[in-house]
Structure formats: C-alpha cells, structure tokens
Amino acid sequence: MHEPVTISCTVNGRHYTRAVEPRRLLSDFIRHDLGLTGTHVGCEHGVCGACTVLLEGDAVRSCLMLAVQADGLSLMTIEGVASPDGTLHPLQAAFREQHGLQCGFCTPGFIMSILQFLGENPAPTDAEIREALSGNLCRCTGYVQIIAAVRQAAAAKAGAPGVG
Amino acid sequence: MKPPPFSYHAPITVAEAIDLLGRYDGDAKVVAGGQSLLPLLNFRLSRPAALVDINRIPGLDYIRADGGMLEIGAVTRHRAVERSAVVAAHCPLLAEAVRHIGHFQIRNRGTIGGSIAHADPAAELPIVLTALEGEVVITGPGGVRTATASEFFITLFTTSLGSDELVTAVRFPTLGPGTGSAFQELARRSGDFALVAVAAALALDEAGAVRWVRLALGGVDLVPVRAAGAEEFLAGKRPDAATLAEAAALVAGEINPESDLHATAEYRRQLAAVLTGEALETAARRAAEGGECGHA
Ligand SMILES: Cc1cc2nc3c(=O)[nH]c(=O)nc-3n(C[C@H](O)[C@H](O)[C@H](O)COP(=O)(O)OP(=O)(O)OC[C@H]3O[C@@H](n4cnc5c(N)ncnc54)[C@H](O)[C@@H]3O)c2cc1C
Ligand code: FES
Ligand code: FES
C-alpha cells in the first residue's frame, strides 16, 4: 500500500489524473507532478504560507496536505489567477502598482490568501487586513506595500468571487 | 522535509476506521485536518506504518444544539465553528476562543476533534473544554463512551484515547441566562500558540454575587488546569475590582508553569494573573449585562 494511488483533481479548471505515492505532499504534487511551479515551498510546516492554494475556494497550506487527500477536489493555484490572455487580476495589478513584492517568493501565497479574504470581507479595515496577512511571511517588503495593495484591490472589488 | 513512507486508508464509515486502527495495533495514525500531524510527519518526528484519513467519513461534520448541550462532530473545521451562529448563541466562549487558533488558512483545515486529540497544553479548545466541563465522545470497537477533560487529558500530547478509538464528537454545556464567559491569551505573534491562555465562565445571583465560577488555564502545565483555589475564593463574593485582583493573585500562586525557550516560569505566572483578571472582569460584565442566551 506504499504503491502509487491514482487520483484525479481539477486544478485551475483543468482536469488531471496522476499516480502518486501516498506520502506525496500536495505542494510537491502541484510543483513536480503538474509542473505548476508558481506555488512556492518555504518551511513545510505550515508557518510561512508560501505554499498556500485554494482548495474548493478555501486558502490552505498545500505542504500540510497529501496529494491523495485532494482526490476528486478542485484547486486553484497562482497560475489560475490571471486571465488566460495574460491580463493581470486586479489583485495582482495592485501588488505591482503598490510595490507589494520585491523578490516575489512569498507573493503567490499572499495572493491566494487574500483572494479568499477579500471574497469574504470585501471592505476590510486596516486592522482586519493586518490580521488576515499574519499567516504569510515576507522577508523583503516590510509588509507596508502589501497592505496598500490589499487596500487598492479592495477598492477595485478584487475578491475571490470575481476570479475567472 | 518530506514524510516517511506509509500506507494510506480513507475509510467511509467510523466502523471501518476503527477496524483499520485495530488491525495496525497502535502503528496507525488518524489524520483529520493534518495541521498538527503533517508537520510531525514532514519533520519525521512521527513514523506511522499507516494513516487512516477520516475526512471522507460522512456524518462527522456537524454543529448541533439541543437539551442544554452543544455537540460538534469531530471533523468540523475550526472555520465552521468560528462562523456558526449556533455556536455564537449557545457557546460564546468557544466562538471567542477558536479565533485565536493559528491563522485563517490553518482554521480552514484544522478540526475540533484533532485539536482535542492532539492535546497540546497551550491549545485553545482543550482549555474551553476544561472550563465548561464538557465531554469528549469516543467511539471504539466496544461502542461509544464519553470522557471529561480530566479523564481525557493525561499529560503533554497524551490522552486516554485507545489506539483503536476515534474522537467522534465534542460536547459543551450551554451556560444559560445570568452567566458570562471570556477568553484571554497572549501569544508573541498573531497565530502563534499562546504563552498563557485563560478561559473564565461564571454565574451571578440576583444580588450580583458570584454563584459559581470556573477558571481554566493553558500553557502553565502539562495539561489544561482549573484554578480551584481562586474559584473557591470567588464563590459568594461580589466581583468588584479588588476581589478580582485578589483572585488573580491567587491563580498566580496555585499554578506551576515551567520556563522554556518562549518564556520564564515567573513571566508565565505574572501573565496568568493579568489574563485571569481581564477574563474575570469581562465575564462578570457580560453576566451582569444579561448573560448568555443558551435557549436561543
Ligand atoms: C502555523 C500553525 C499554527 C497553529 N496555531 C495553533 C494555535 O494557536 N492553537 C491551536 O490550538 N492549534 C494551533 N495549530 C494546530 C491546529 O489547531 C490543528 O488544527 C489542531 O491542533 C489539530 O487538528 P487537526 O484536525 O489538524 O488534526 P491532525 O493534525 O489531523 O491530527 C492531530 C492529532 O490528533 C489525532 N486525531 C485527529 N483527529 C482525531 C480523531 N477524530 N480521533 C482520534 N484522533 C484524532 C491525530 O492522529 C494526530 O495525532 C496550529 C497549526 C499550524 C500549522
Ligand atoms: S511551505 Fe507550506 S506553509 Fe511554509
Ligand atoms: S517579496 Fe521577497 S519574501 Fe516577500
């Protein structure tokens, strides 16, 4: 039973079927088996938030799930956020305009987290934004521009329901 | 790091899960939200022969209030508890405490049963269970049994759960009119486990004196503890500022925190007093304002 198990799931609207070892982390499945390397891996214990993806619309740590647990479920990763023609999602545009990223390692995790947050709370206060960002670590920006980006995105109504 | 190899089972009934756990005879681990177990696997601190995933078992994800009792299925996510109007109405202490667990991404996956079974001494939900004198519903090969917090939490990360038993639900009694409760904790960063956390619940009589009070603390011992001395001291007294301050000082004297990487024993003792004072004051104010509407 350590042998590969066949699973099917939908990622960014596309259907995938793959054989995975039970111990395959969802983060590694996304990166290595599906080649979607926009989802980053920092700590592998749930603290940094770099690996955050949407599972059935909820932001979750892909390093704390097994790929087999995603069987039959639907995921969205950073690759699914912009329009197919490459037009940035308003939240991504806000990050660029407000300089909400420097090296960009943390950015996919922030974007996926904020998509759920703004979907549920379209007009957050600054205190709510800070609380919502507390589950993602950034070593570069100092967070101030990320908060500004979330404010701009909120003004542009960039929550999850609007996502392609 | 990556988890070591294991066999994976995703049963669809409680009976099947219990049977699998029995067959592995202590070598299998249940996985619910995975928010505590997966880090242990990734660090290879845990090397089970098999994982029994209970996420595909229907009927373990519910929130139900009746007969003065709030019952929550083991696989109910922290986020569902946090958002539930039923929880807010019947067990506001739980609604207040659950928001302190990690970050919303952690609460999207983590479950109430997992939090209770994991038995971290600083975790919020075991403290609430202890304060409210709730019970853990456990299903094993012989059927269903229940355990109180003191019967369930043995020591650090250790419970009285058998290796072929599952936590299937957690029950919290509804406090009703004339009562108030409050939760206070201090963590160094938002989302961290608390250095010290305090849950207080109390009832006032018509004259405004304390009819009963329950104080539970986490992060100060190997399991959540009740502050029996302070509880006894408060009974029958009016909860004015001087009385609450005296009770808070008693709490500092009756706990036995240890020093670790995160805080010294002395600091934890002082924090316990401050947080107890704040929790008691809020609980008393809420009780005086009419109390919790358990019959909503
Ligand atoms: C970054 C981060 C921050 C966190 N901060 C906090 C915090 O502040 N406060 C806090 O309380 N927790 C915190 N947690 C842990 C989180 O609350 C977990 O959800 C919880 O401790 C365990 O629930 P789970 O469903 O994820 O359990 P799992 O990880 O799936 O399991 C934990 C343990 O319980 C056992 N188990 C699970 N369900 C059952 C069951 N039904 N019957 C029998 N055994 C079972 C498993 O075998 C395992 O040993 C944090 C986690 C992370 C990653
Ligand atoms: S890699 Fe998953 S939270 Fe850090
Ligand atoms: S931009 Fe470099 S870690 Fe956030």
Strands A5-11 and A74-76, bridge-based pairing? parallel
Return d(Cα B171, Cα B136) in angstroms, integer.
Answer: 6
Asked whether residue A149 is domain-assigned, the answer is yes
Beta strands across the sheet bearing B225-226: B179-186, B196-204, B210-218, B225-226
Name the DSSP letter for residue A136: S
pLDDT in tens, B62-106: 999 998 999 999 999 999 999 999 999 999 999 999 999 999 999
**Ligand 3 geometric centre to CA of A140 (Å):** 4
Asked whether residue A164 is domain-assigned, the answer is no
Q: Which amino acid is at B91?
A: C
B39 contacts on A by Cβ (under 8 Å): 44-46, 64
pLDDT in tens, B162-201: 999 999 999 999 998 899 999 999 999 888 999 999 999 9
A21 contacts on B by Cβ (under 8 Å): 5
Band of the pLDDT at A163, cuts 50, 70, 90?
very low
The domain total for chain A is 2
* CB pairs < 8 Å spanning A and B: 94
Radius of gyration of chain B (CA): 19
Same-domain pairing of A75 and A99: no
Same-domain pairing of A62 and A127: no
User: What's the pLDDT score for residue A21?
Assistant: 97
Domain of A135: which CATH number? Answer: 1.10.150.120
Among candidate residues A59, A80, A101, the one where a domain is terminated = A80
- Mean pLDDT over all residues of chain B? 96
User: What's the pLDDT score for residue A164?
Assistant: 38
pLDDT in tens, B218-256: 999 999 999 999 999 999 999 999 999 999 999 999 999
Tell me the two tokens of residue A111. Answer: 């974007």
Return d(Cα B292, Cα B287) in angstroms, integer.
Answer: 7
Name the DSSP letter for residue A68: G
Same-domain pairing of A100 and A136: yes
Question: B42: distance to nearest CA of chain A, Å?
Answer: 7
For residue A4, pLDDT over 80 is answered with yes
Same-domain pairing of A9 and A47: yes
Could you give the domains of chain B? 7-51 (3.30.43), 63-173 (3.30.465.10), 194-286 (3.30.390.50)
Is the whole model's pTM more than 0.90, yes or no?
yes
A130: helix, strand or coil: helix
Domain of A37: which CATH number? Answer: 3.10.20.30
> Does B191 reach chain A within 8 Å, measured CB to CB?
yes
A102 Cα nearest atom in ligand 3: 1
Question: B145: distance to nearest CA of chain A, Å?
Answer: 29
Domain with A112 in it: 90-155
Q: Which uninterrupted H or E stretch holds A5? A: strand A5-11
Rounding to the nearest 10 degrees, give the CA dihedral for residues B287, B291, B294, B296.
-170
Beta strands across the sheet bearing B28-31: B7-9, B50-53, B28-31
CB-ligand 1 contact for B84 (6 Å cutoff)? no
ipTM of this model? 0.95
User: What's the pLDDT score for residue B294?
Assistant: 43
Return d(Cα A40, Cα A28) in angstroms, integer.
Answer: 9
pLDDT average, residue stretch A96-120: 98
